[in-house]
A = this chain, B = another copy of it.
Amino acid sequence: MSEGLVIVGSVARDSVITAEGSRERVLGGSAAYASIAASFFCTPQLVGVVGNDFPFQDIERFNEKGIDLDGLKIDDGRPTFFWKGEYSADFTHRKTLEIALNSFESFDPHLTPDQKNVGCLFLANISPKLQLSVLRQFTKKPFVVGDTIDLWIQQDRSTLLDVIRMADLWVVNESEVRLLTGDTSLYKAGRKLLDMGCRRLIVKRGEHGATLFQDNHYFSLPAYPTLDIKDPTGAGDVFAGALIGFLASREKEPKSFELIKHGMVWGSVLASFVIEDFSCNRLFEINFNDIKGRCRTLLEMISVKNMLA
């Protein structure tokens, strides 16, 4: 199998307000979060665009994590994609206060010959039409993980379902899988999306964890017990980024149900760190031993011994 991981999505400046404080114009965007998380496992190639206001320090932070930036365009004519949002006190809901696409408006990624040949692709949240255009550039089908947001379910459901059917693993929030299928039960909604042609599905359930659906098999993982949340932004992108970063690091192995489970454990742990501070800050403070420590705790949280033995 081919080497490497391409991550396509947004790189942004975020202004965020939570019960724990606020930050102005900090590093954000689905591809930024996902690439930083993936960088703990492999060398991700970030494909995105930033504007003329993007701080050099954040380019340096990407470099520090070994992220390949050949695919990161700089649009000198406009500022970076900007999002401002506020979370409810319990972090379960968020309201967009301001959004400006800026340089992201004309984002139309063209992959390099090298990128078109990688083994893994993460389609972070961009429009389904762009996701499709990226998929079609590949000369050899990579292992594709995809993500979306409710906006695209509402605005371009049909293209989105095409992309979901072409992907190997789709990652959604609980509310999104309900919106996509019209089913309110977690298990019914998940199974229905498989019936609609989704090959493998992970439903992210916030502090309730995440559930993997494939054929008639399920795997359910609780969230790591993070007690002090500061900013939940990017948790889902970090989960998916770590998951596919891990899968990319095992490029020679088949993408078995068991291997995806392991990826979910890594993803959950990385997500548990990123929400402890604003932006991606926490991911620049931790090392692989910190990550392994929480993996161990999470595995203990689901271990049952000698039952039905």
Contacts and interface: CB of A to CB of B under 8 A. Distances in A.
Given A184-B90, A191-B227, A218 B301 contact: yes
Contacts of A187: 207, 225-227
Interface string A272-309: 00000000000000000000100110011110111110
Interface residues of A, number: 41
A262 interface: yes
B185 A258 contact: no
A207 B222 contact: no
A220 B229 contact: no
Interface in A76-98: 89-92
A219 B305 CA distance: 12
Interface string A35-75: 00000000000000000000000000000000000000000
A185 B301 contact: no
A201 to B, nearest CB: 13
B304 A261 contact: yes
A186 interface: yes
A186 B227 CA distance: 9
B304 A89 contact: no
A302 B220 contact: yes
A205 interface: yes
A130 to B, nearest CB: 33
A302 B299 contact: no
Contacts of A299: 304, 307-308
A258 B295 CA distance: 20
Interface in A190-227: 191, 205, 207-209, 211, 217-222, 225-227
Given A220-B302, A261-B307, A295-B307, 4 more contacts: A92-B184, A218-B222, A221-B302, A302-B302
Interface of A: 89-92, 184-188, 191, 205, 207-209, 211, 217-222, 225-227, 229, 258, 261-262, 265, 292, 295-296, 299-302, 304-308
27 contacts: A90-B184, A90-B185, A91-B185, A92-B184, A185-B227, A186-B207, A186-B208, A187-B207, A187-B225, A187-B227, A205-B208, A209-B220, A211-B222, A218-B301, A219-B301, A220-B301, A220-B302, A222-B222, A258-B304, A261-B304, A262-B304, A265-B304, A265-B307, A295-B307, A299-B304, A299-B308, A302-B304
